[in-house]
A = this chain, B = another copy of it.
Amino acid sequence: MITPIFWIVPIASLLALSLAFFFYKQMMKESEGTEMMAKIASHVREGAMSYLKQQYKVVASVFVVLVILFAIMAFGFGVQNEWVPVAFLTGGFFSGLAGFLGMKTATYASARTANAARTSLNKGLQIAFRSGAVMGLVVVGLGLLDISFWYVLLNSVIPAEAMDPTHKLSIITTTMLTFGMGASTQALFARVGGGIYTKAADVGADLVGKVEAGIPEDDPRNPATIADNVGDNVGDVAGMGADLYESYCGSILATAALGAAAYVATGNVEMQYKAVIAPMLIAAVGIVLSILGIFAVRTNENATIKNLLRSLAVGTNLSSVLIAISTFGILYMLQLENWFWVACSVITGLLVGIIIGQSTEYYTSQSYRPTQRISEAGKTGPATVIISGIGLGMISTAIPVVAVATGIILSYLFASGFDFANASMGLYGIGIAAVGMLSTLGITLATDAYGPIADNAGGNAEMCGLGKEVRKRTDALDSLGNTTAATGKGFAIGSAALTGLALLASYIEEIKIGLIRIGQTVLNFADGREIPIHKATFTDFMYYYDVTLMNPKVLAGMFLGSMMAFLFCGLTMNAVGRAAGHMVEEVRRQFREIKGILTGEGEPDYARCVEISTKGAQHEMIFPSLLAIIAPIVTGLIFGVTGVIGLLIGGLSSGFVLAIFMANAGGAWDNAKKYVEEDNLGGKGGDVHKATVVGDTVGDPFKDTSGPSLNILIKLMSMVAIVMAGLTVAWSLF
C-alpha cells in the first residue's frame, strides 16, 4: 500500500544525492594549488583508493560465501526469506558506494582546502565543509533510496490476495530489515579494516618520526606520513560513513518492522501503514532540514576557533530545532495514532544525542578540567597519564548511560500511552527515538567528514611548506575538526546503542516470521494455553522462549555477550599493535638505508608504507570480523532464541559502555597532549609533553579503532541474529 505522502521519501533521497553531486562539482572546479600540492594529494588519493579496492576484494569474497549460504538456507532448507540473498547484496553495495563516493570527494578536497586557505579562512571552511557534506548527503540519500526501492518493489510483488493485509505489511518490513545485514557486513570491514589501517600508520609514524627522530607531524621526511593521511580517509571518512549508513538504515527499518508488528493484532491496516512509513518520513524531512543547515554554515574572515565552532553549531542546531518542530507537523499530517506523544519519543532521541555530544565535549576537550587534569598527571610521568586517562574514560560513561537509560524509559512511555504493559507500542517508541537521533545525520556526518579533510589539508600545507599564515588557517580548521570528530564519535555510539535496541526488539518479529515459515501456527505454553502466532504479543514471545533473567541460557548468553565486546576490542587493539610494529620497522629501515632522508635530500618510499598498512589492515581485520559474524550463529545453534537474546543484550549493554569509555579516554589523551602543546605545563618538548605523547599514542587505537568498531559489533550481532532467525527457530541444541 503506497499513498502519495510516501513519495516524499524517494524525493528527499534524490534531492540529497543531487545536492551532493552539485557540491562535488563545485569543489572540483577549484584549483588544487601548486604542482607539489596536487602531487601529494594524488599520492594520498591513490593510496586511499588502492586500499579501498583491496578491501572491497576481501569483502566481495565474504559476500559471495554469505550469499551462497543464504541461498542454500532459502531455497534448499526453506529457513530463510528468498529475497535475502539479493537484498543482502544491495545493502552492501550501496553502503560501499557511499563510502567510495565520500572518500573520493574527501581526497580531492584536501589540497583544494589548503589552497583555498591561502585566500581566506571562510573559503577554506566552505570547501572542506561542503565536501564533508557530500559524504553526509550520499549516506542519507543512498540509504533512503535503497529503502524506498525495496519498499515499492515488495509492495508490488508480494501478492496481497493470499493473506491478511496486516500480515502482508509485516512480511514486507521484516524482509526489508534483513537487508541491513549487507550494510552491516560492509560496515564491519570498513570500520575494523579502516580503523586498523589508520592507527597502524599513525602510531607507526609517531613512534619513529616524533619520538625517535624528533621531526614534527606531517613532515615530508617521514616515510609514513602519506600512509597516515591515507588512514584519515579510509578510517574516519569511509569507515565512519559505513558505520552511520548502517545505523541510519537499521534504525529506520527496525522501526518500520516494529510499527507493522504493533498493528498486526488490531487489524487496523491503515494505521499500520502509517506506523511503517512514519520513520521514513521523519528521515526524509530530516534530510531537507539538514540541507538547510548545511547552507547556514559560513564564517567571516577573522574567525577564531570559537567563531568556527559557533558557525558549525548554528548549522546543526538550526537543523535539530527545525526537525523537532517538523516532527510534530509531519506526524500530525499523517494522523498517526497518538501522534503527539510519538513525536515526543522522536524528540527524546534527538535530545539524548545532543546530551551525549555535550558530555563527550566536556570530557574530551582541553577547555575543561577533566582533560587538563590528565595533562597535569604528566608531571609524574606517562604512567599517571595513562591511569588518569583510564579513570576519566570510565567515569565519563555515567552521563551518556544515564541519558540513554532515561531515553529508553521516556520514549517507551510516551509511545505506549504511559503503559509499561503495552510493549509493542513502547518498543516502537524506542525505535523511533533512534530515528529521531539520526534524523540530523545529513549535517552531523558532514561535520564529521569535514574533520579528516581539514586534517589532510593541514598535512598538505605542511608538506608543501606553505606560508605561516596559511598554516595558521589550516591549523584552525584542523583543530575545529578534532572537536567535531569527538562529538561525532559520541553521536555514532549513542545512535548505535538505540539502533541496537530497536534491532533487538525487531528480532522477535523475525522469529515470528521464521516460525510461520517452518509451519508453526500457535505458541503452546506449559500451562496448556495456546496463542495463534500472528496474534501473539512481544510479551507472549518472551514467555514462550522464557527470556527471563533467571533462565541459565539467558545468563550464559549475557556473559558471553559481555565477553564478546571485550574480546573484539582486545583483538583489534592487538591488531593495531602488530600492524604498527611492522610500520615502525619499515620507517626505521628507510631512515637507515635511504641516504639523506633526514636532511631532505633523499626521497622516502611513501608507497611502501602505504602498502604495509594496507596489507596489515587486510590481514588483521579477518579474524575479529568473522568472530563477530559467527558468535551469534553459534550461540543460536547451541542455546536457541533465548540464548541469542541474552548474547545480544549482554553485548549491547557492555559494548555501549565500553565504547564510550574507549572513545572518551582516547579523545581526552589526544587533547591533553594538545593542551600541553598550547604552551601549558612546559609546552612542547618538555617532560610533561613526552608523557602526554605516550597517552596520545595509546589513545589512538582506543578512539579510532577499537571503540568505533564496537558500534558495529553492537549492531552487527543483532543483524546476524535477525538474518539467521529462520535457522535458529528451526534447530538448536538446547
Chain A residues with CB under 8 Å of chain B are: 203, 207, 211, 377, 380-384, 386-388, 390-398, 401-402, 404-406, 408-409, 412-413, 420-421, 423, 426-427, 430, 501, 505, 508, 526, 538-539, 542-543, 546-563, 565-567, 569-571, 573-574, 576-577, 580-581, 584, 645-646, 649-650, 653-654, 656-658, 661, 693-694, 697-698, 701, 734
Q: Distance (Å) between the CB of A22 and the closest chain B CB?
A: 42
A426–B569 CA distance with the chains assembled, in angstroms:
33
Q: What residues on B are CB-neighbors of A392 within 8 Å?
A: 570, 574
Chain B residue at smallest Cβ distance from A569: B394
Q: What residues on B are CB-neighbors of A550 within 8 Å?
A: 423, 427, 505, 508, 538-539, 542, 547
Q: Distance (Å) between the CB of A669 and the closest chain B CB?
A: 10
Q: Distance (Å) between the CB of A267 and the closest chain B CB?
A: 21
A328–B646 CA distance with the chains assembled, in angstroms:
33
Q: What residues on B are CB-neighbors of A423 within 8 Å?
A: 550-551
Of B380, B556, B574, B649, the contact of A555 (CB 8 Å cutoff): B649
Query: Known contacts A397-B567, A420-B734, A548-B548: does B562 contact A654 (CB below 8 Å)?
Result: yes
Q: Distance (Å) between the CB of A425 and the closest chain B CB?
A: 12
Contact A563 B398, beta carbon cutoff 8 Å: yes
Q: What residues on B are CB-neighbors of A560 within 8 Å?
A: 401-402, 405
Of B391, B645, B646, the contact of A571 (CB 8 Å cutoff): B391
- In the assembled complex, 5 residue pairs joining A and B whose CB atoms fall closer than 8 Å, in A order, are A388-B574, A394-B569, A397-B566, A401-B563, A559-B656
Query: Known contacts A538-B550, A556-B409: does B398 contact A567 (CB below 8 Å)?
Result: yes
What is the oligomeric copy number?
2
A557–B549 CA distance with the chains assembled, in angstroms:
12
A395–B567 CA distance with the chains assembled, in angstroms:
5
Apart from A391-B574, A408-B555, what 17 extra A-B contacts exist at CB < 8 Å? A383-B694, A387-B697, A387-B698, A387-B701, A393-B570, A394-B573, A401-B559, A406-B556, A408-B556, A420-B552, A426-B552, A505-B550, A539-B550, A542-B550, A549-B645, A561-B653, A653-B654
Contact A394 B570, beta carbon cutoff 8 Å: yes
Q: Distance (Å) between the CB of A410 and the closest chain B CB?
A: 9
Q: What residues on B are CB-neighbors of A386 within 8 Å?
A: 386, 694, 698
Query: Known contacts A388-B577, A653-B558, A653-B654: does B551 contact A420 (CB below 8 Å)?
Result: yes
Q: What residues on B are CB-neighbors of A396 within 8 Å?
A: 570
Contact B577 A387, beta carbon cutoff 8 Å: yes
A402–B567 CA distance with the chains assembled, in angstroms:
12
Of B211, B377, B574, B661, the contact of A395 (CB 8 Å cutoff): B574
Chain B residue at smallest Cβ distance from A573: B391
Q: What residues on B are CB-neighbors of A701 within 8 Å?
A: 387
A560–B645 CA distance with the chains assembled, in angstroms:
19
Of B554, B570, B577, the contact of A549 (CB 8 Å cutoff): B554
A413–B693 CA distance with the chains assembled, in angstroms:
52
Contact A552 B412, beta carbon cutoff 8 Å: yes
Contact A401 B562, beta carbon cutoff 8 Å: yes
Contact B383 A207, beta carbon cutoff 8 Å: yes
Q: What residues on B are CB-neighbors of A661 within 8 Å?
A: 566, 570
Query: Known contacts A386-B694, A401-B563, A657-B563: does B408 contact A552 (CB below 8 Å)?
Result: yes
Contact A387 B573, beta carbon cutoff 8 Å: yes
Query: Known contacts A551-B420, A577-B391: does B556 contact A405 (CB below 8 Å)?
Result: yes
Q: What residues on B are CB-neighbors of A553 within 8 Å?
A: 409, 420
Q: What residues on B are CB-neighbors of A505 within 8 Å?
A: 550
Chain A to chain B: the 6 pairs with minimum beta-carbon distance, closest first: A394-B570, A383-B697, A391-B574, A391-B573, A542-B548, A401-B563
Q: What residues on B are CB-neighbors of A653 within 8 Å?
A: 558-559, 561-562, 650, 653-654
A567–B400 CA distance with the chains assembled, in angstroms:
12
Query: Known contacts A398-B563, A405-B560, A548-B542: does B694 contact A382 (CB below 8 Å)?
Result: yes
Q: What residues on B are CB-neighbors of A426 within 8 Å?
A: 552
